[in-house]
Structure 1
């Protein structure tokens, strides 16, 4: 019998075939990081040249690094820059235009205030009317004694001339919002016609506004009446003089243009 040949056990080797795709992957990642760095540090032309070089070295056919179509062209960059400049110019023009309109508005309201103040002086109404111009509005304040009998909202016949004079002056601002507001003191009203100061102040504002709007040159759509009752006093209700100041009708022309950086105030004469 022949002797069986005895073989020494062989040492098994690990499968290293995975190293090839792994090394390719690392190479591609390295190339990608280089390209990303180049994108942040060079212009479009240089990036295209680098992209072509990497494509030739790392692949065949269509290059995986051909990103040039995603980059903005010089033409598009120039167009974006021009659009941005045009927008900035338009914004500046708008600001200048608004500043000019605000200046003109200020001059017009100062002129109207002087006209009103002159009318008040000429007609001996200094104790019954006053005007105030601030950053938001021009306000004409009329004492209730100049317009109404006590506890009534009916405008006195002799006061209609005052309403006519004010309405004629308001024609200078046909496109401006005008608010007519009624105010009272805090003394409870006690008559059969009105249940509260709210009702009285509401009717007084509404009746005076209707007389203003008898002027056909005024646009009713620009007018609003408001009732404040006793809740917006301008003086103390603890004295008769203070209560008399609080009983009033205000006609306010609301500004369209305001300059918040400049609090404009025209003092009463």
Structure 2
């Protein structure tokens, strides 16, 4: 049957509950067309049949869709600012039992980075990070905590020595760090958001979303923060209407909910 991308988006939502209407259409359609071109499928209908029947193909599709590009301490200057300024300020306001949410954690690099950084300020047993991602394959890697050399190349030497173990050409995150993160499969566009968080980290994810979807998510993050809490976004992102939402801009990538 002759079908178009609109039909395909509807079928994807029925199958996965992922709403492709929330993503920038030209960019996402191009990615999906490229992926289909790597298979033997002729068009959207055949590809939909494939991902309905084949779990591995379906997981490959979702992983490709969610664009998992991550590494430990990515954009180190931003993490240094967190270490020197943001974390001490948050501890001063809220104490050492900070509520932290890594809202699109991908393969775990980000929440593990947060644990390692926080260990400079707080005993490990007082650190608890909630980490969400839509991609079950990425979450499986996150829970395993095993990475290649490039992914961990940004970890400062002292933290690498303390929290990572080399196993051949791979590096394993220590169990002490892994225990501090609670991973959950969840869709930012559908799941009810938690409340009263002191720090929300969502970096280099929303650039793939439409302006309407981004606005909705940023407003939900604002509601999820405790007064005085901070949202940390990526170097490729900005909140154009942050004042309208209610945020105070602390720096290029940090936005605070007023006390």
**Shared topology, TM-score over 0.5?**
no
Normalising by structure 2, what TM-score? 0.25
Structure number having the greater strand percentage: 2
Q: What TM-score results when the alignment is normalised by the length of structure 1?
A: 0.25
Please say which structure displays the higher CA radius of gyration.
1
